[in-house]
């Protein structure tokens, strides 16, 4: 048996245990880091060939692995922009260098410029929200992503362009009798404008309807229109009305489509069954909401909720083989598989929890146990090295 080989084996063992202690130290240091995934060391033997009855001691080599696919528990917060992924998927963030990374650290905060950045200074990425269809994504790349930016949402006014006004007109009213009601609409600057609707009975089952803006300036927005009902008191025509667009005090009142399809003429008093017009007055932002599908909405002081962006998620076939990067980030590696893009709750992706953060998946008790094991094993390997060194000294002293 080679004495040098014995010492090299002891050194190999000490190096291996030092690597293990290194991961234990890192894990314990990051036991409170949001979204941190623990590292561990796997050992494998190095066997040298034995010749002529002489045993050549080998050694041990180590491989560091990360438990990236192991989900941590959740801690709930009072911030709606703190996010966690419940299930598979990673947030996509961008650094100051313009490079995209994957992360599970979702402690995002709204910045002065309206962007959402986590505690490491990386910007959350997503797509502009569309009410008609999900934004088209590039499945295997980051093209089309943009920083989620809420700076333009500080104040908002939306002009009215649609509504509904369904009433019951008394069937026993005399020809010439009138009924009236009003709806509030909004112009392009968020000013409220009162629109008056007047109904005049002209014959059995027939009413004349007009709509006016009292002004100034007084404006007829729906000229006299004949509304007819059948023998059962249900409306026949028209089922909707379109108002005329006009300008008032430098602001635009848009043309509005008013649904009247469920209006009726029955033997009851005049009543408004449904009366609403969309749009809103100028309102300031009072908060943000992010739902489990990753839709980022702005909350205004008038109670309106306006979707602005949708958070994108990414995944790979083998998350544990991603490359860890400083800042609790990950990048694609040759072993991880290609990055696949998607949205929360679709195609195998997990859901997003707002007002929560994913804890580190480190078990401190387990790490302390591993520390004791590594310490004892390191000591044992040092004894092997020490014994080999003493035997070598005996061999050298034989010449004396």
**How confident is the model over 264-293, as pLDDT tens digits?**
999 999 999 999 999 888 888 788 899 999
Q: Which domain holds residue 391?
A: 3-69+361-397
Residue 58 has pLDDT above 90, yes or no: no
The reply to whether 175 and 265 lie within a common domain is: yes
Q: How confident is the model over 188-208, as a mean pLDDT?
A: 96
Distance CA 332, CA 352 (A): 22
Give the tokens for residue 355: 């007002």
Nearest Cα neighbor of 302 from 279, 275, 322, 321 is: 279
Residue 154 has pLDDT above 70, yes or no: no
Residue labelled with tokens 């929360």 = 344
Is the peptide bond preceding residue 217 cis, with omega within 30 degrees of 0?
yes
Residue 234 located in a structural domain? yes
Residue 122 located in a structural domain? yes
Residue 296 located in a structural domain? no
Residue 151 has pLDDT above 90, yes or no: no
CB 155: neighbour CB atoms within 10 A?
Answer: 12
The reply to whether 84 and 179 lie within a common domain is: no
Residue 285 located in a structural domain? no
The reply to whether 328 and 270 lie within a common domain is: no
CB 376: neighbour CB atoms within 10 A?
Answer: 11
Nearest Cα neighbor of 74 from 285, 360, 277 is: 360
The reply to whether 267 and 241 lie within a common domain is: yes
Share of the chain above pLDDT 90, in %: 69
Residue 89 has pLDDT above 70, yes or no: yes
Q: What is the DSSP string of 187-255?
A: -TTS-EEEEEEEEEEEETTEEEEEEEE--SSPEEEEEEEEEEE-TTSBEEE-SEEEPPPEEETTEEEPP
The reply to whether 173 and 251 lie within a common domain is: yes
How many domains does the chain fold into? 3
**What integer pLDDT is reported at residue 91 of this predicted model?**
96
Give Cβ neighbours of residue 270 (< 8 Å, ≥ 6 apart).
Answer: 167, 168, 169, 170, 179, 199
Distance CA 311, CA 325 (A): 22
pTM beyond cutoff 0.85? no
Residue after which a domain boundary falls, among 343, 358, 373: 358
Residue 300 · residue 280 · CB < 8 Å: yes
Residue 167 · residue 263 · CB < 8 Å: yes
pLDDT tens-digit map of 90-125: 999 999 999 999 999 999 999 988 899 998 999 999
Average pLDDT of the chain is: 90
Distance CA 253, CA 159 (A): 7
Distance CA 247, CA 329 (A): 54
pLDDT tens-digit map of 177-188: 999 999 999 999
């Amino acid at each position: 048996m080679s004495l040098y080989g014995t010492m090299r084996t002891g050194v190999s063992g000490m190096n291996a245990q030092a690597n293990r202690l290194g991961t234990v130290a890192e894990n314990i240091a990051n036991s409170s880091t949001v979204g941190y995934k623990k590292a561990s060391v796997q050992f494998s033997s190095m066997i040298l060939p034995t010749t002529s009855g002489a045993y050549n001691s080998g050694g041990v080599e180590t491989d560091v692995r990360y438990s990236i696919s192991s989900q941590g528990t959740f801690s709930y917060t009072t911030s709606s922009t703190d996010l966690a992924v419940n299930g598979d998927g990673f947030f996509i963030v961008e650094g100051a260098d313009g490079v995209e990374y994957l992360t599970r650290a979702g402690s995002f905060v709204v910045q002065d410029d309206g962007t959402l950045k986590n505690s490491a200074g990386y910007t959350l990425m997503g797509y502009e929200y569309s009410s008609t269809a999900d934004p088209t994504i590039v499945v295997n790349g980051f093209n089309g992503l943009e920083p989620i930016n809420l700076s333009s949402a500080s104040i908002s006014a939306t002009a009215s362009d649609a509504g509904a006004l369904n009433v019951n007109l008394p069937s026993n009213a005399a020809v010439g009798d009138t009924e009236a009601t009003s709806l509030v609409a909004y112009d392009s600057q968020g000013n409220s404008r009162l629109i008056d609707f007047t109904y005049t009975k002209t014959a059995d089952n027939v009413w004349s309807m007009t709509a006016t803006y009292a002004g100034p300036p007084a404006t007829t927005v729906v000229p006299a229109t004949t509304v007819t009902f059948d023998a059962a008191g249900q409306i026949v025509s028209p089922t909707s009305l379109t108002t005329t667009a006009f300008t008032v005090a430098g602001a635009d009142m848009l043309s509005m489509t008013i649904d009247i399809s469920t209006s009726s003429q029955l033997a009851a008093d005049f009543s408004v069954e449904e009366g609403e017009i969309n749009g809103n007055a100028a309102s300031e932002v009072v908060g943000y909401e992010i739902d489990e599908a990753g839709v980022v909405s702005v909350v205004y002081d008038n109670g309106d909720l306006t979707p602005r962006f949708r958070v994108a998620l990414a995944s790979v076939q083998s998350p544990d083989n991603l490359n860890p990067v400083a800042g609790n980030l990950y990048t694609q590696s040759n072993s991880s598989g290609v990055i696949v893009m998607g949205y929360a709750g679709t195609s195998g992706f997990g859901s997003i929890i707002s007002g929560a953060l994913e804890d580190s998946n480190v078990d401190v008790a387990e790490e302390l146990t591993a520390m004791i094991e590594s310490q004892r094993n390191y000591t044992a390997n040092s004894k092997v090295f020490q014994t080999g060194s003493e035997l070598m000294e005996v061999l050298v002293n034989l010449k004396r």
